[in-house]
Amino acid sequence: MIKLNIHEAKTHLSRHLKRVEKGETITLCHHNIPIAEIRPLAAKVTEPRPIGLAKERFAVPKSFFEALPEDLVFGFEGSSR
């Protein structure tokens, strides 16, 4: 962890941010009293999140989006033909 007073941080910000990119945390101080932290962000997720607890990737089949048969729609809606 790096402790910096605000003046030092402003003067050499780009140098210190390179260290943050490598995983270090900076504690910013005002008159040697800690007031804030600058830390690296979590790695960006590059893969889609799995649905539910599935271990393998889940894909919705194209047939899911096809129209339902009329008798099935009637069962849900109860409307007359």
**Where are any strands of DSSP class E within the chain?**
2-5, 26-30, 33-38
pTM: 0.52
Q: pLDDT (tens digit, 9 = 90+) per residue, 58-77?
A: 778 899 999 989 888 888 88
Interval 8-26: pLDDT, tens: 999 999 999 999 999 999 9
Sheet holding 26-30, edge to edge: 2-5, 26-30, 33-38
Residues 73, 75, 79, 81, Cα dihedral to 10°:
70
43 has a pLDDT exceeding 60: yes
What CATH topology corresponds to 2-38?
YefM-like fold (3.40.1620)
Q: How are beta strands 2-5 and 26-30 bridged, if at all?
A: parallel
Place of tokens 């007073």: 5
